[in-house]
Amino acid sequence: MRFAAVGVFNTSVDIATFSMLFYVFDVQLLVANSIGYLAAASNSFLLNKYWTFSETCHHGRVHYQFSLFLVLGLIGLGLSNIGVWSLATYVPEIVAKLLSVVLLFSWNFGTSRFIVFRAKGFATNHDRVHLQQ
């Protein structure tokens, strides 16, 4: 439920930023999409770390988690841009944006829950090496 609340808030930031840039300021489609996505993602890390997944987070691993979040977020941004660009040839730009948000939900939740903020006890090779040092 918390992820959904954070998701609704971040989606609102994303859509509002995109719409303002694209429709009001006439910013190019993929630039407006990228800025909207990054505006939402910048808030997403903190809310997900300290509220959504707070019970499962390793609080001493902020830099490592942020690095993972950043890399996976950039991949998500690429997927979002591909989706918006591809869909905008068939539907209005705002519909393409909304559809890309829906399509990326699984990516965003999956990478946040199972990679960046995975539960304690789910060690990766990186964790094992780090613990042995």
13-70 pLDDT, tens digit per residue, is 999 999 999 999 999 999 999 999 999 998 988 888 888 877 665 556 788 888 999 9
Residue 40, Cβ density class (10 Å: 0-12 exposed, 13-18 middle, ≥19 buried): buried
Tally the domains of the chain.
1
pTM of the model: 0.80
d(C-alpha 80, C-alpha 103), whole Å: 8
Cα–Cα distance measured from residue 51 to residue 25, given in angstroms and rounded to the nearest whole number: 34
Give 130's pLDDT tier (boundaries 50, 70, 90).
Answer: very low
Long-range CB contacts (within 8 A, 24+) of 123-132: 126/64
Q: What's the confidence (pLDDT) of residue 131?
A: 45
Q: Residue 128: what residue type?
A: R
Domain span holding position 25: 2-132
Instruction: For 61-118, write each residue's pLDDT tens digit.
Output: 788 888 999 999 999 999 999 999 999 999 999 999 999 999 998 898 888 888 988 7
